[in-house]
Amino acid sequence: MCSNDFKILKQGAEAKLYLGNYLGKPTVIKERFKKKYRHPDLDESITKERIKNEARSIVRAKVAGVKTPSLYLVDFERRRIYMQYFEHSVTVKDFIINIKKKYTDDSAAKLNKVARIIGENVRKLHIHNIIHSDLTTSNMLLVKDDEKDINQELVIIDFGLSYIDTRAEDKGVDLYVLERALISTHNDCPDLFSKILEGYKAYSNTNIKEILHKFEDVRARGRKRTMVG
């Protein structure tokens, strides 16, 4: 169980999130579930490896220049990661939904700017061979330093499925996952992914052609599966 000072924030298929204070800082605890269908020793080994991968990817993303939550503590025994909570933030998902509700002349420019920043940051991950595996607008935050600050930074969160790999195909799949997430959640913004790709392409051209070729292959296979059911 988590400390009484922490309140449950969210529960998913793999973990619970708790919100509270640790060492005087707003903190999220991610606590992974025990899988009772697995042998306890195997479950402990798999969970430990996944926690390691998540923590490693967060640190590596920071080195890549991508803003992620700061790590405060990794507790393997209790299956927990303690990390920074961003108080003045909104998910990119909610940002897009809200901006579409209150559409103004500069809304398209704001959306395009955020899309380009997303593309640049995903490219930074891929240059450093970080495969996020769950790129959705729910796993991206726009963060302000305080309530009055209008300058927002993009923060990528939830590296629970991430891993390190150099293959272009894995990076292409990462892009495809993001495209499918956008189609599912923001189908009223049909140009959003193309703007993200503009940012992705603009950041660096190293190995970009091979990654985009693999992305198109994955996309074609996905469409074929959809057509045949």
* Sign of the CA dihedral running 95, 97, 98, 99: positive
Q: Out of 5, 75, 106, 134, which one is annotated catalytic?
A: 134
Which residues, other chains included, contact 74 with Cβ-Cβ below 8 Å and sequence gap of 6+? 51, 55, 80, 81, 82
CB contact set of 85 (below 8 Å; sequence gap of 6+): 19, 25, 26, 27, 28, 69
Check if 94 is active-site: no
Q: In this structure, what DSSP letter does residue 88 have? A: S
Q: Which amino acid is at 81?
A: I
Provide the β-strand partners of residue 3: none
Active site (catalytic) residues = 134
